[in-house]
Amino acid sequence: MEKKRIGVLTGGGDCAGLNPAIKWVVKTALDERLKRTRKVEHEVIGIRDGWKGLVEPEGDGDPPVPRIFTLTEEMVRTWDRYGGTNLGTSRTNPYDPKKDRSKTVLENLERYQIDYLIAIGGEDTLGVANKLYREGVKVVGIPKTIDKDLSGTDYTLGFETALNVITEEIDRLRTTAGSHRRIFVVETMGRHAGWLALEGGESSGAYIILIPECDFDMNKVNELLVEGRRKGMRYEIIVVAEGAKPIGGTEIIKENGVDSFGHKALGGIGEFLADQITKATKIETRSVTLSHLQRGGAPCAYDRRMGRYFGIAAVDLIAKEDFGKMVSYRNGKITAVPLEEAVGKLNVVDVKTQYDIERYNGRRTILGY
């Protein structure tokens, strides 16, 4: 019987849902019944630390831990219960313009006899996968990012678990906010897309939601807050995405410099807002940055299920020899789209139909009346 090796890696920011996807890649690829019907025997190769695993496969440390190893069903049996990625991740970019190491990746795929590659990641990781596909690598992608900003899919792994974190944390803040009659500003992740802030704010019933797709007017935010108090509100919750900014302002940056994909580290808009609000309204305002808490914890039921379906579908694509595709969830169905489509442009909130620019909140008309 023909023998083939499937490499699997996770790249970019971690999130819940990665481990379930890896588990189901392994279980599907090694499935005995499918082996007989597909007439191919697979071995699954775990690649540690994202693209770094294919740039420096020998690993580091003393003695070095190799970044290429065989995954068995027994190894991954319990992985779907755990958050993060047991393969590790990195933001290594083999096509970094400062030091292009894409040739090394191609050589290592050859050296470790990796016939097919499954890349699990967001726009950066899948952008690399797409470039490798153009160079002849038989690659398929699985979408993940808590930001949900990949095109070509209605769902990206990690998003629902992150929303649950946001909702739970806001529930906690409500009691203390109410006791002290304070305003709380909750800063979520979301560099370019406001999905986490918008849907997190909707899930938790926030009073104001600010997203990168709609620059906000600071005076209007203050007016809405003062109006709330006039109407008898004891406290208010504002949810703001890290990439949101005031009209005429710029995004707030946490650290100078950019990563190998050219991204700045954002953070601080929550604190900025709290300060501006306290000064203008004299209402005591505090800010909380949820930061990496949103990426942590065990995957919720939805991420376990979607990880499973995406993992199975990725192996289906390999069995069908349908490369250069990303598995996707669209209109209630698991399907696949070209990687090119997924990474071409970001999926952001459509302010006209999905956001209320008067209230700075979720929409109040859904069916169009």
* Residues classed as catalytic: 147
Burial track 18-46 (b if 16+ CB lie within 10 A, e otherwise): bbbbbbbbbbbbbbeebeeebebebbbbb
Region of 181 please: left (phi>0), alpha (psi -120 to 50) or beta: left
Instruction: Report in angstroms how near the CB of residue 186 gets to ligand F6P at its nearest.
Output: 14
Radius of gyration of the chain (CA): 22
The footprint of ligand F6P (CB under 6 A) covers: 13, 122, 145-147, 189-191, 242, 266
Dist. CA 59–CA 62, nearest whole Å: 10
Structural tokens at position 58: 């020998």
Give the burial class of 242: count Cβ atoms within 10 A of its Cβ; 0-12 exposed, 13-18 middle, 19 or more buried: buried
Tell me whether residue 291 or residue 335 sits nearer to ligand F6P (CB atom): 291
Pick between residue 21 and residue 30 the one whose CB is nearest to ligand F6P. 21
Query: What gap in Å lies between CA 241 and CA 150, rounded to an integer?
Result: 17
CB of 310 to ligand F6P, least distance (A): 18
Closest distance of CB 152 from ligand F6P, Å:
17
Closest CA to 180 of 97, 236, 136, 254: 236
Tell me the residue number closest to ligand F6P, measured at CB: 189
Q: Which distant-in-sequence residues (6+ apart) come within 8 Å of 314 by Cβ?
A: 21, 25, 118, 140, 141, 142, 327
The Cα 183–Cα 284 span in angstroms is 6
The structure tokens listed for 199 are 């849907």
The nearest distance, CB 234 to ligand F6P, in angstroms, is 31
* CB nearer to ligand F6P: pick between 247 and 258: 258
Smallest distance from the beta carbon of 145 to ligand F6P, in angstroms?
Answer: 5
CA–CA gap between residue 42 and residue 25 (Å, rounded): 11
| C-alpha closest to that of 321 among 55, 39, 88, 18 | 39
* Closer to ligand F6P by Cβ: residue 261 or 323: 261
CA distances from 184 to 5, 36, 129, 192, 271 (A): 51, 58, 41, 23, 10
Closer residue to ligand F6P in complex, CB, 185/266? 266
The nearer residue to ligand F6P, 96 or 115, going by C-beta atoms, is 96
For the CB of residue 13, give the shortest distance to ligand F6P in the complex, in Å. Answer: 4
